[in-house]
Every structure is written in C-alpha cells, then in structure tokens.
C-alpha cells in the first residue's frame, strides 16, 4: 500500500480569490443533493452562471475546508441558520463535512445562539443521514424560501435543529 502524504484539512474564512472554487463545489453539489427533490421552477434559477454572485453575497459568512491548497468544501452561517453545507464529491465520506458542520455550530454558538437550525429537502437522504449522525434532530416540515434573483421559490423541506453547547468560544474571522 502506498503511503499518504496528505496534510490534515484546515478550516478558514473564505476570501474573494476563493469564489470560483466555492461556486464550482456549490453548483455541482446542488445537483447532487437536490435533483428530483425540489420544485421544477427552482431549476430555472439555479443555472451555473448564478453561483459566483451568490458566493460573493455570502463571502463574509462563509468558511471553507482546505487540504494541500485544494478547497474541499464550505459552510455558510447566517445568524442561527447553517444555510449551506457542501463538500466536493471527491471529499465526501472523509470526515471533512463533520469538521465544517462543527465549525458552523461554533460560529452560531459564538454569536450567542443556543439553538442552530437548517433546512434540507426531504429527498436528500445522504445529507439527512449526515445531520442525524452529527446530533441534529428532524423537527418537522418547513416551507423554505429559497432565494432567487427575482424573489424566492417555496421549497418543501425538513427543519433540523441542534442544541448547542455554551462552552464554545466564538471563532474570529481573520
């Protein structure tokens, strides 16, 4: 067996130079997690060209995982909501998703919230299994307002919640 020389992934705040890599992971991952599980109307809005602007809009609330200089995933935290969790297909099943989600939880806790929430489409079985294994609880149906360039599309989702530990310090952005 060949020896691996990969370094450990690190989590850091996103920068403007990261926009293309994040947009690519988001675009590809969106199809993986949502195709067949969201209203047809949303597909018309989620074209490849829309992702860079959506990444830029959230850049100061985005954290990413990087390993050997390669971006492998990202999370977006908006208040008490973990708004996005995406891992590149090549890095799924490696534990990087758990690192990102734990970081997002610390960001929410650090902002003074005792409860974090997120929305996931019912048919996204892999994500739901991941959240449940990570200590999140399915609290029921939620009509989520998915943002588009012209307004929003209502997407039937499940709402997941996690009660956060009070001991976590607020991570500061670089």
Ligand X SMILES: CC(C)(COP(=O)(O)OP(=O)(O)OC[C@H]1O[C@@H](n2cnc3c(N)ncnc32)[C@H](O)[C@@H]1OP(=O)(O)O)[C@@H](O)C(=O)NCCC(=O)NCCS
Chain-centroid distance, C-alpha 172:
19
Which residues face 62 on adjacent strands?
Answer: 76
Q: Where on the phi/psi map is residue 167: left (φ > 0), alpha (ψ -120 to 50), or beta? A: alpha
CB of 151 to ligand X, least distance (A): 21
Residue (73 or 164) nearer to ligand X, CB? 73
Using rule CB under 6 A, residue 33 touches ligand X: yes
Using rule CB under 6 A, residue 67 touches ligand X: no
Using rule CB under 6 A, residue 133 touches ligand X: yes
Neighbouring residues of 127: CB distance < 8 A, sequence distance ≥ 6: 33, 85, 120
Residue (100 or 164) nearer to ligand X, CB? 100
> Please, are residues 143 and 158 in contact by the beta-carbon 8 Å criterion?
no
Using rule CB under 6 A, residue 164 touches ligand X: no
Residue (104 or 109) nearer to ligand X, CB? 104
Using rule CB under 6 A, residue 120 touches ligand X: yes
Q: Report how far apart the first and last C-alpha atoms of the chain are (Å, whole number).
A: 39
Figure out which of the listed residues 18, 29, 38, 106 binds ligand X, where binding follows CB under 6 A.
29
> Please, are residues 10 and 66 in contact by the beta-carbon 8 Å criterion?
yes
Binding segment for ligand X (CB under 6 A), chosen from 11-19, 43-51, 79-87, 166-174, is 79-87
Which residues face 142 on adjacent strands?
Answer: 157
Which chain residues interact with ligand X by CB under 6 A? 29, 32-33, 85-87, 92-93, 97, 120, 124-127, 129-130, 133
């Amino acid at each position: 067996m060949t020896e691996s020389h990969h370094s450990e992934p690190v989590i850091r705040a996103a920068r403007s130079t990261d926009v293309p890599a994040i947009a690519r992971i988001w675009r590809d991952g969106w199809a993986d997690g949502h195709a067949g599980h969201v209203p047809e109307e949303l597909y018309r809005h989620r074209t490849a060209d829309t992702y860079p602007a959506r990444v830029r809009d959230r850049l100061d609330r985005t954290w990413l995982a990087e390993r050997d200089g390669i971006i492998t995933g990202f999370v977006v935290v908006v208040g008490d909501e973990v708004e996005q969790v995406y891992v590149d297909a090549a890095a799924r099943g490696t534990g990087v998703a758990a690192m990102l989600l734990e970081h997002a939880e610390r960001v929410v806790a650090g902002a003074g919230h005792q409860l974090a929430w997120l929305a996931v489409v019912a048919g996204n079985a892999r994500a739901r299994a991941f959240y449940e294994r990570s200590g999140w609880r399915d609290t029921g149906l939620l009509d989520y307002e998915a943002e588009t360039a012209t307004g929003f599309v209502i997407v039937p989702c499940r709402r997941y919640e996690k009660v956060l530990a009070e001991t976590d310090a607020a991570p500061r952005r670089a």
